[in-house]
Amino acid sequence: MEPVSREKSAVSVLRAIGLMSGTSLDGVDVALIETDGERRTTLRASGYRPYTDEERALLRLALADGATLTSRHARPGVLAEAEALITRAHAEAVEGFMAEQGLSRAEIDVVGFHGQTVLHRPERALTVQIGDGPALAARLGIPVIHDLRAADMAAGGQGAPLVPVFHRALAESRGMEAPLAVLNIGGVANVTLIGPDGELLAFDTGPGNALLDDLVRERTGRPFDEGGAIAAAGRPDEALLAWLLTHPYFIRRPPKSLDRNWFSHRIVAHLSTEDGAATLAAFTARSVTRALDFVDSRPSRWIVGGGGALNGEILRLLGAGTGAEVVTADSIGWSAAALEAQAFGFLAVRSLKGLPITYPSTTGAPQAMTGGVLARP
Ligand SMILES: Nc1ncnc2c1ncn2[C@@H]1O[C@H](COP(=O)(O)OP(=O)(O)OP(=O)(O)O)[C@@H](O)[C@H]1O
Ligand SMILES: CC(=O)N[C@H]1[C@@H]2OC[C@@H](O2)[C@@H](O)[C@@H]1O[C@H](C)C(=O)O
């Protein structure tokens, strides 16, 4: 990443900090970007504030309590405590990052705060991200854009994925040739397909790393399959895979989005750890290649971000399945780890400017629409 610049930005270019705590519950990603929210984007430094084991345990309980929610404002069970934790952890993430980078609050125009998803049920028009935007703005002394999924979902959209407009802006600002695919493999995997004329098609493809993480944690106590080594040592259960891919989610045309807990690692309970991991890695890769069912022009290049970019076995299977060039975000000068946090910085700037963040072809919104709520300190 380029170092932080000190020169005065052009008026329309704002300096934003983006924050993401994803479905993997590993920690808070922080990223600094300078952008006009359109074609000019410079990626700056990024950081990370991991959750402690105790925090992660509380967040897992919050996902369980989240599954019972029927209103996006209720905070029963541990959810109120978890929301305070999320707000505090994000504040610490920003404060730590700003100290590291020698940044003062006056140098940051806006913070984009995703929060932590504890429930996502688009079929019930319900998506819940915990995290207190006004409290974060007050503590940091910086304007915060939060609740970025709510307006889209209220209008009939899926509320996800939100990153496609950022993927396209980044690809265009770098003069990349389309058709192109940008794939995020987090807990859930989502793809942005950019057509020859810049048209977007985006959706959640299926599970990312979440099932593999759950299996590996249960069987070995380790948090994930480092490099994909366990999966690479096993053999996928082809019959099970074929059956899994008949699930209606994969046949349904986009727009579509998933909750982290839609599928469970228990589908491979009867297999050895290696064969189970191989089956789940292949499930992720094959559900991604199903995205090709929905495009006219096949991307010749796939750029992969998210923690799954470090899973060599998933990357290998993707290359075989797509027949395309598969590269990691890091290998082209982007950051696989920071891509989502950068996106929330970019989305915050678009939100401040009243620019659209979701579209009929990304979330199924009825028209291009802006979103996000501004909390002033
Ligand atoms: N060295 C590694 N080898 C293999 N996999 C890894 C490695 N490091 C991280 N991962 C995977 O990446 C995951 C974290 O990815 P990421 O931070 O992109 O997810 P997230 O942002 O929480 O999810 P989402 O995008 O669904 O919100 C880990 O849970 C793990 O599965
Ligand atoms: C509801 C929710 O939090 N969804 C996440 C999740 O993680 C990956 C995938 O599922 C994606 O749809 C989304 O996050 C990214 C940042 C997005 O909205 O683009």
pLDDT in tens, 259-306: 988 899 999 999 999 999 999 999 999 999 999 999 999 999 999 999
CATH of residue 268: 3.30.420.40
Residues 348 and 323 grouped into a single domain: no
ipTM given for this complex: 0.98
Residues 22 and 112 grouped into a single domain: yes
Q: Ligand 1 within 6 A of 324 CB? A: no
Residues 135 and 254 grouped into a single domain: no
Residues 146 and 201 grouped into a single domain: no
Residues 289 and 358 grouped into a single domain: no
Q: Ligand 1 within 6 A of 207 CB? A: no
Has residue 4 been placed in a domain? no
Q: Annotated binding residue at 289?
A: no
Q: How far is CA 326 from CA 186, 289, 306, 357, in A?
A: 17, 12, 14, 27
Nearest CA to ligand 1 atom 31: 209
Query: Pairing state of beta strands 144-146 and 110-113?
Result: parallel
d(CA 146, CA 111): 8
Has residue 192 been placed in a domain? yes
Residues 117 and 27 grouped into a single domain: yes
13 contacts: CB under 8 Å, gap ≥ 6: 34, 35, 36, 40
Has residue 8 been placed in a domain? no
pLDDT at 11: 57
Q: Ligand 1 within 6 A of 214 CB? A: no
The tokens describing 296, both together, are 């006219």
Nearest CA to ligand 1 atom 22: 22
Name the maximum alpha-carbon separation found in the chain. 60
pLDDT in tens, 353-367: 999 999 999 999 999
Residues 328 and 360 grouped into a single domain: no
pLDDT at 117: 98
Residues 249 and 122 grouped into a single domain: no
Let me know: does 156 contact 367? Beta carbons within 8 Å. no
Nearest CA to ligand 2 atom 1: 120
Q: For residue 76, give the 3-state DSSP assignment.
A: coil
Residue 279's nearest CA partner among 352, 198, 212, 329 is 212
Has residue 89 been placed in a domain? yes
Q: Ligand 1 within 6 A of 203 CB? A: no
pLDDT at 147: 98
Atom of ligand 2 nearest to the CA of 344: 16
Residues 226 and 254 grouped into a single domain: yes
DSSP result, 191-227: EEEE-TTS-EEEEEEEE-SHHHHHHHHHHHS-SS-GG
Atom of ligand 1 nearest to the CA of 213: 31
Helices 210-220 and 273-289 sit at what angle, rounded to 10 degrees?
A: 180
Ligand 2 centre and the CA of 160: distance in Å?
6
pTM score, whole prediction: 0.96
pLDDT at 336: 98
Residues 67 and 116 grouped into a single domain: yes
d(CA 133, CA 129): 11
- Low-confidence stretches of the chain (pLDDT < 70) are 1-11
Ligand 1 centre and the CA of 19: distance in Å?
15
In eight-state DSSP terms, residue 306 is S
Q: Which domain holds residue 51?
A: 14-160+340-375
Q: Annotated binding residue at 304?
A: no
Has residue 21 been placed in a domain? yes
Q: For residue 259, give the 3-state DSSP assignment.
A: coil
- Count of domains observed in the chain: 2
Has residue 6 been placed in a domain? no
Residues 108 and 189 grouped into a single domain: no
Has residue 5 been placed in a domain? no
Q: Ligand 1 within 6 A of 213 CB? A: yes
Residues 31 and 64 grouped into a single domain: yes
Has residue 259 been placed in a domain? yes
Q: Annotated binding residue at 119?
A: no
CB under 6 Å to ligand 2: residues?
22-23, 117, 120, 127, 160-163, 184, 186-188, 190, 204, 257, 340
pLDDT at 103: 98
